[in-house]
Chains A and B, each alone.
Chain A
Amino acid sequence: MTALTDIPRANPQAPDAPRLPRRGAVRHSGADVGPSRATRIVVLSMAALFLGLPLFALGAFTVRGGLKGGVTLSHWHDLFGGELGAASGPLWSGLQNSLLLSVVTVVVMLALLVPTMILVRLHLPRLERVLEFVCLLPLTIPAVALVVGLAPVFSVVARVFGSGSWTLAFAYVIVTLPYSYRAIQANLAAVDVVTLAEAARSLGASWTATMRDVLLPNLRRGMLAASFISIAVVLGEFTIASLLSRTNLQTALVLVSKRDPYVSNIVVLLSLVFALVLLFALGRVGTQTRRSRP
């Protein structure tokens, strides 16, 4: 057996070795050309005020004692203690439907969009413009016009899949397509999927293994972003559900608000907080990905 000889060892501290930032260390690149600390505080405070004040007002309204005045948690107790009875029925079923719709929309969207975009990037790059055009098209179509077009389609959908609220997901996939496409496209542009796929293939990986082990993990950020945006859109969607006579969170809120404005405002407040949490989660995903890449 012949052995390899005298291979120069890489020095982790070599001049060409990138230095790893210390844990918790703050990175500064060149001169500090950003706004001053005071400016940042003022701008952030104004933004927080702009976003926070309506939420605070909404929160304050939900604990008002009505005509009696004062502060009370009775409206929250009514909602979560089950004392609202039949009034909260549409609300919970609407919330359930919206959550189910979110899941189905995300699953269908990812299952359709991710393989298609990878396929086009790897094998049909000339179709990228066409795909982009098709995916962005729903942005230009008003929801009402979309429903008019979808109505006959949904009569067929109802025959095949039934008329469950979850079938709205087929329409929601179209509505969320532009946002999902942009999120995944941004990730695809940042990763050299062609070379990664070729490297995996040259190492003996099948197409399935290449997708599972190499491409999807590197598109995780885009897929998460697309999922979060889709969930936010689905939870806030009213027009299509209303015009197609389906119940979701927003249509239920309208219904309930006619009986009890406090309950609908509590749910709106929680929805907005949930959307904010989603946005922060999205930001965190982006930050973590930036940290893990040069």
Chain B
Amino acid sequence: MTATSTSTPTSSDSDGPAGGLGSGAVQPNAVAATVEMIDVVKDYGSARALSGFTLSMQPGELVALLGPSGCGKTTALRALAGLTPITSGTMRVDGEAVAHLPTNKRDVGMVFQSYSLFPHMTAQDNVEYGLRMRKVPKAERRTRASEMLSSVGLEELGHRYAHELSGGQQQRVALARALVTQPSVLLLDEPLSALDAKVRVELRELIRRIQTELRITTLFVTHDQEEALAMADRVAVMSDGVIRQIGTPEDLYSRPTSAFVADFVGLSNRVAGTLTAGTITAYGTTFDLLGDSLPDGPVVALVRPEDVTFGDTGVPGTVITSSFLGSLRRTIVRLEDSSVLTVQHDASDVKLAGAEVSIAFTGRPVSARKP
């Protein structure tokens, strides 16, 4: 199947040389599928978990569902997997309605948040299990499972049981197990949340690389915005059972369509201002309003830390703390009116606590909400 025209990376975006891996060579997915979830509703008694959830995914695309706890992101993923029956709505994979199909008939691969390897089987047997269910001959099963384990860098550990593997290794095996059957859709339910920071970064790069090279349509649930922005082609920000905004990570960060998204994705300073005819005035600077329109009057503008700068003139303030973050630094400043702002600036510009500074704004468009 060829990729349709989308704004998402395709197999050509692979960051390694084509055909570069010997023993771990795994075929790219020949059946990368489109996914459509239209007006999906899920009620738990009187509580509505999904409220007209609509999402469309292109073949080979990785979409991250991002949102606060209880926003319905895991419910949406489980609904697509068939693990949670929906109340109403339509779900299609490659044009075929799947809402009525049981999980084992949906051709999905899934990696869970908790370690889900079968404890009584070795890593190799775990990876082979899905092939066994598809009645693949034993010799072929062993070969494909070994290749898949090799692809996740675990070719030497196929004989080990789950308790003999670290958390990161277990999730690698779980990934290999989910991918070895070449499913139409890969579903990742916060697979990195139980891992420590270093392993998490390694594994997310591995997932992204394999997903890109196998060109498998992937839905990824996370509450970690850094993870979502780093891995996904598109990020869908959810709240109250619906998608508030979906777009590329850059879109979400730079052009949030609502105060909720601006507030949830990345850091924002809350700056009191006045809205007049689509323009916000605060501390003598004017900002164009992004996203939802608001009635004129007092508003809270959401200004990114990189849109606040130090200068020779501007609003006077006092440095409270300054944190070194590698190539940049975040400094927290208390203004004379007691409001507190975070300024993101070059790491070489060191600001000591207690220093008197002046701050200014770039004036880039901002989102805002009522105070």
**Residues of A that sit less than 8 Å from B by CB:** 1-10, 12, 14, 16-18, 20, 191-192, 195-196, 198-206, 209, 213-214, 217-218, 292-294
Q: Nearest Cβ distance between residue A250 and chain B, in whole angstroms?
A: 38
Q: Nearest Cβ distance between residue B239 and chain A, in whole angstroms?
A: 26
Q: Is B244 an interface residue (CB 8 A)?
A: no
Given known contacts A192-B114, A199-B118, A202-B103, is B181 in contact with A12 (CB within 8 Å)?
A: no
Contact A3 B129 (CB under 8 A): no
Q: Which of B24, B163, B187 contacts A293 (CB 8 A)?
A: B163
Contact A18 B202 (CB under 8 A): no
Q: Which of A6, A206, A218 contacts B120 (CB 8 A)?
A: A218
Chain A, residue nearest B27 (CB): A1
- Tell me the complex Cα distance, A9–B23, Å: 12
Contact B161 A292 (CB under 8 A): yes
**Residues of B that sit less than 8 Å from A by CB:** 11, 14-22, 24-28, 81-83, 102-105, 107-110, 112, 114, 116-120, 129-130, 133-134, 150-157, 161, 163-169, 172, 174, 177-178, 181, 187, 196, 199, 202, 206, 209-210, 213-214
Chain A, residue nearest B108 (CB): A202
- Tell me the complex Cα distance, A213–B120, Å: 10
- Tell me the complex Cα distance, A103–B248, Å: 64
Contact B153 A7 (CB under 8 A): yes
Which chain A residues border B213 with CB–CB below 8 Å?
A: 2-5
Contact A14 B24 (CB under 8 A): no
Given known contacts A200-B129, A206-B104, A214-B118, is B157 in contact with A12 (CB within 8 Å)?
A: yes
Which chain A residues border B163 with CB–CB below 8 Å?
A: 18, 292-294
- Tell me the complex Cα distance, A159–B105, Å: 46
**For the complex of A and B, 3 pairs with smallest distance between CB atoms:** A5-B16, A203-B130, A204-B133
Chain A, residue nearest B206 (CB): A7
Q: Can you list 24 A-B contacts with CB-CB less than 8 angstroms, sorted by A residue number?
A: A3-B26, A4-B210, A6-B16, A6-B20, A7-B153, A7-B206, A8-B202, A10-B156, A10-B169, A16-B167, A18-B165, A195-B112, A198-B81, A198-B112, A199-B117, A199-B174, A201-B102, A201-B103, A202-B81, A202-B109, A203-B109, A209-B133, A213-B129, A292-B163
Which chain A residues border B174 with CB–CB below 8 Å?
A: 199
Given known contacts A3-B26, A3-B213, is B83 in contact with A198 (CB within 8 Å)?
A: yes
Contact B25 A4 (CB under 8 A): yes
Which chain A residues border B104 with CB–CB below 8 Å?
A: 201-206
Which chain B residues border A200 with CB–CB below 8 Å?
A: 118, 129
- Tell me the complex Cα distance, A198–B114, Å: 12
- Tell me the complex Cα distance, A200–B132, Å: 11
- Tell me the complex Cα distance, A200–B104, Å: 8
Which chain B residues border A8 with CB–CB below 8 Å?
A: 153, 202, 206
- Tell me the complex Cα distance, A140–B28, Å: 62
Q: Which of A16, A195, A205 contacts B133 (CB 8 A)?
A: A205
- Tell me the complex Cα distance, A200–B109, Å: 10
Contact B20 A16 (CB under 8 A): no
- Chain B CB within 10 Å, residue with most, of A4, A10, A199: A4
